[in-house]
Amino acid sequence: MSQGLNRKRALIIDDERLALEFYSEVLEAQNLNVIKYTCPRALLTEMDGNFSAFDLILIDYNLPDMKGVDLLKTIKKYTDVPKLIFTSQSNMAQAIEVMRLGAFDYIEKNFSDTKSLTVSIQRALQHRNLQVENTQLKKQINNTGVSNLNLNSNNEYMNKIIYTLKKVSPTKASVLITGDKGTGKDYLANFIHQNSLNSQGSFIKLNCSATPQNIITQELALENSQNIFYRASNGSLYIDEISELSTDNQRLLSACIEQLSENLNVRVISSSNEKLLPKVKSNLFKEELFYKLSIVNIDLPRLKDRKEDLHHLTNHFLNVFAQKHQKTIHSLDESAIKILLNSNFEGNIRELENMLERAIIMCEGTRITSTHFIPNISSNSASDIFNPHFVPDLNLKQIEKEYTKFVINHCQGNLVQAAKILEVSKRTIYRKIQDEAAMNPTISQ
């Protein structure tokens, strides 16, 4: 009974009875609960705008009394669930029209082969799952009050970037984001999408470094009905590590932007770890494509060049990871702050993020100390104990005390195990912690 209640629901509208029953069976084979209509007017009257109860809507292009595209536009006013349009005779102009109007996909009817429809249904349902997850995540973020990273800065250059972001995000201008690895390019791309006119549409990401070039060629092929621009219609296409794109695929992307992005209402955002203009001058990157991608170019600084922002970045990650790992951690002590201030952060914000998450995992109290930044201990060398950012400002007695505390915490208060690692007796550890009120692990015998 509960399985039936949990089944996703699909709505299908087709005036041809045979087609309606055939495609209903295809949907039911995907474990969907199907509601069928033959008349668009009857559908609109009976539904009275309640379309959000469905997870997928399929509309025939040729309907009596009302065109399929007009029904699509009407339903779109009530819900953003994925909508598929199918037709007996497909053509490029039709495809561009329906995708521009908000269809998730455009399928040619084929009673002998349902593979394309099945694939499209599965992709649409995956997209619906992401929509639901994103809605829940936004509610969670609003409830916890976690602020956006890039809306606060004490750095003059970053404030100029924030000003530019707020100006460009609500427009349709293409944006190129450059900067070293870990500087927050993905985060900015998401921010631009969430604050754009296309924020209710899909955010589709293509990683040019992680995706084989032959697959990218298929994704960009103009004649491909599954072209990535169609999937990003009325949303944003984020092309990551654009500098890794082959010359042939640069030409294809340029053609897609020219022919499809405006017609399908696709916001193009791209990023690169390298500056592209030198590549243009060296004929390694197409000049025409560069200017199409970079109506606005944002170049992110390294974290070591904006250390004024360490405070609010650290507070942000403390809130996020303390909640994630269900810890009550409020702050860093002076020794931990010194480590952050003296770090070069070659990995930029990503390195800071990883450092703080590891520290939160290791911390048993409410404050992070320098010992919580110590990485996993290697048995090969004593020098492996120290983090590359370790600041030698403690005497031997302090180091012994902090390291003993670290080992006991690492062993979750098991003194027998801690004594074995330290190669001392359990009595010695007892003696060391008797006068240390700050050291308060859960001790097991």
Residue 65: which CATH number?
3.40.50.2300
Q: Is residue 137 part of a domain?
A: no
Apex CA 190: angle with CA 187 and CA 193, to 5°?
A: 150
Binned average pLDDT, 10 residues per bin, the chain of 445 residues:
59 90 90 90 86 89 87 88 85 81 85 83 84 61 41 86 93 95 91 89 89 90 83 91 95 93 90 94 95 96 93 89 88 88 89 90 88 59 52 69 76 75 76 54 40
- Return the pLDDT at 394: 64
308 neighbors 155 (Cβ within 8 angstroms): yes
Q: Is residue 440 part of a domain?
A: no
The Cβ of residue 71 has, within 10 Å, a number of other Cβ atoms equal to: 23
Q: Are 230 and 372 members of one domain? A: no
- Return the pLDDT at 230: 86
- Return the pLDDT at 14: 92
Q: Are 13 and 155 members of one domain? A: no
Q: Are 104 and 7 members of one domain? A: yes
Contacts of range 68-72, beta carbons closer than 8 Å, 24 or more positions apart = 68/98, 69/97, 69/98, 69/101, 71/13, 71/40, 71/43, 71/44, 72/98, 72/101, 72/102, 72/103
Cα separation, 220 vs 255, whole angstroms: 9
Q: Are 319 and 388 members of one domain? A: yes
For the beta sheet containing 236-240, the strands, ordered from the edge strand earlier in sequence to the opposite edge, are 203-207, 236-240, 267-272, 175-178, 296-299
- Return the pLDDT at 149: 42
CATH number of the CATH domain containing 344: 1.10.8.60
Radius of gyration for the alpha carbons in the chain, expressed in angstroms and rounded: 28
Q: Are 199 and 282 members of one domain? A: yes
Residues in the chain, overall count? 445
Q: Are 167 and 280 members of one domain? A: yes
Total structural domains in the chain?
A: 3
Q: Are 280 and 319 members of one domain? A: no
Q: Are 237 and 192 members of one domain? A: yes
**By residue range, what is the domain housing residue 29?**
2-132
